[in-house]
Structure 1
C-alpha cells in the first residue's frame, strides 16, 4: 500500500529554464511592487499638499463669510465702491490720465 501511495505522488521537477522563468517572474513581481510603492508615496505627498490647500482656502472662506455676515464697516464699503465700482464720494476730486 505504501508503494501505491508513492506511485500516485508526482514530483514537480523544474529544469533550468523552468527555474529561470520562475526567477524572472519573481523579479517582475518585485519590480511591480516597488513601482506601486513609489506611486503610493507620491499620492500621499499630494494628499498632504492638497489637504493644506483646502485648510488654507477654508480659512479664507471663513474670513469672507464673517465679513459678509458683519455687513462690513463704512470705510470698507467706501473702498469697495471706489476701487471696484468706480464710484466717487461727493466733494472728492477725480484725476484722469489722458496720456494714452
Structure 2
C-alpha cells in the first residue's frame, strides 16, 4: 500500500492551522500574565486592608486605656494635661 504525498494545499492548510494555534496560545499567555498581575495587586490591596482592620481592632480593643486616651487627646485634639507646659513655635 502506497501513500500519496501531501499536496501543496494540504501543507498550506496545516501551516495556517499552526499559525492560528500559535496566535491563540500567545493571546492566552498574555491574558494569563495580565490576570496574574491583577491577582498580585489585589492580594497586596487585601493585605493592606487586613493591616488597617487589625489596627482599627486594636484601637477599639484598647479604647479604654487611659494612656491611649491621653495620647489621643494630646496628638489629635491638641489638649494638655494639668501641669504640662505648652510651647508654640511660630514661623
> TM over 0.5: same fold?
yes
Could you say which residue in structure 2 is the equivalent of 1:9? Answer: none
In structure 2, list runs of 5 or more residues that go unmatched: 1-6
Displacement of 1:20 = 4.1
Q: Distance in 2 between matches of 1:59 and 1:33?
A: 39
**Aligned match of 2:77:** 85
Aligned counterpart, 2:40: 48
The structure 1 segments of at least 4 consecutive aligned residues displaced by more than 3 Å after TM superposition are 15-26
- Structure 1's unaligned 5+ residue stretches are 1-14
Question: For this pair of structures, how many residues does the alignment match?
Answer: 86
State the Cα deviation string for residues 5-46 of structure 1 (Å, max 9, x = none).
xxxxxxxxxx85786476346414421321221221231233
Whichever of the two has the greater Rg, that structure is 1
